[in-house]
Amino acid sequence: MLIIFLKAVLLIPVTLLPILNPFGIAPVFANLLGDVPRQVENRVARQVAINCWFLLVGAIFIGSHVLSFFGISLPIVRIGGGILVAVSGWRLLSDNEQESSIKTQVAKTYDDESNEELKARSFYPISFPLTVGPGTIAASITLGANTPARLVDWVMSIGSAALGSALTVLVVYLCYRSANKIVSLLGRLGTMVVLRLSAFILLCIGIQIFWSGFTGLLVETGLMPP
């Protein structure tokens, strides 16, 4: 039972971290914040990690129920999420002025006393959709799609989902709190290369999510064998 629990815990970061790509997004995070003190960077990174944990756990536990309530199938979520992720990746690849425009929108003066303002700015667009985007939400819903019937298995699933999500956002926090260090180590050229590669990977992930949703629809309609 312990081995099954640990496998369930590790399944979440192994599945979600390639989609989240916190190391590749870290330079974008640093660019969003702009020139802020180290203390503020840590606070924003910590708040982003907390926001992402709630988003992941919520998607795992209640995401499928919300979709069922509105009559939305998981392939449709994958198609919509894949399109959004692919569009985001394409914009990062093609629009050289996007980073500066986002920066002017987000990088305001962070007041140490204004916790509510910091929480609001840490959620959009940093936590969602930059970090936890539609692709991550669709993958999280898939991970929590099958709810165990037995009480023991249900408790184990809750614990594994909470712990696995915590490990996932811990990696996000460690990358984001060191975002400016990563940018300094990479330099201007290295940062540009990482941003473009991350954008291309994001574009490919979006296309892959879209294709998974499209084939899922074909299977549901009977046009393709399962």
Neighbouring residues of 184: CB distance < 8 A, sequence distance ≥ 6: none
Q: Are 163 and 9 in contact (CB under 8 A)?
A: yes
* Nearest of 210, 212, 215, 216 to residue 86 by alpha carbon: 210
Q: Please indicate whether residue 21 or residue 88 has the higher confidence score (pLDDT).
A: 21
As a whole number of Å, the CA-based R_g of the chain is 18
Among the listed ranges 30-44, 106-120, 198-212, which one has the minimum average pLDDT value?
106-120
Q: For residue 58, what pLDDT band results from cuts at 50, 70 and 90?
A: very high
pLDDT of residue 107: 44
As a three-state string, the secondary structure of 13-55 is: HHHHHHHHCHHHHHHHHHHHHCCCCHHHHHHHHHHHHHHHHHH
Nearest-angstrom CA–CA distance, 15 and 91: 25
Whether 114 shows a pLDDT value over 80: the answer reads no
Nearest-angstrom CA–CA distance, 222 and 213: 14
Number of helices (H), then strands (E), in the chain: 9, 0
DSSP 71: T
Whether 100 shows a pLDDT value over 70: the answer reads no
Q: Are 75 and 216 in contact (CB under 8 A)?
A: yes
pLDDT of residue 49: 96
* Nearest of 173, 78, 194 to residue 131 by alpha carbon: 173
DSSP 72: -
Whether 103 shows a pLDDT value over 60: the answer reads no
Q: Please indicate whether residue 120 or residue 61 has the higher confidence score (pLDDT).
A: 61
Q: For residue 167, what pLDDT band results from cuts at 50, 70 and 90?
A: very high
pLDDT of residue 19: 82
* φ and ψ at residue 12, rounded to 5 degrees: -70, -55
If you write DSSP's letter for every residue of 83-119 in order, what string do you get?
HHHHHHHHHHHH-TTHHHHHHHHH-----TT-HHHHH
Q: Please indicate whether residue 119 or residue 9 has the higher confidence score (pLDDT).
A: 9
| pLDDT more than 70, % of the chain | 88
pLDDT of residue 27: 82
Q: For residue 149, what pLDDT band results from cuts at 50, 70 and 90?
A: low
* φ and ψ at residue 101, rounded to 5 degrees: -70, -40
Q: Please indicate whether residue 61 or residue 53 has the higher confidence score (pLDDT).
A: 53
Nearest-angstrom CA–CA distance, 44 and 47: 5
Q: For residue 146, what pLDDT band results from cuts at 50, 70 and 90?
A: low
pLDDT of residue 165: 95
pTM of the predicted model as reported, rounded to 2 decimal places: 0.74
Nearest-angstrom CA–CA distance, 49 and 185: 23
Whether 174 shows a pLDDT value over 50: the answer reads yes
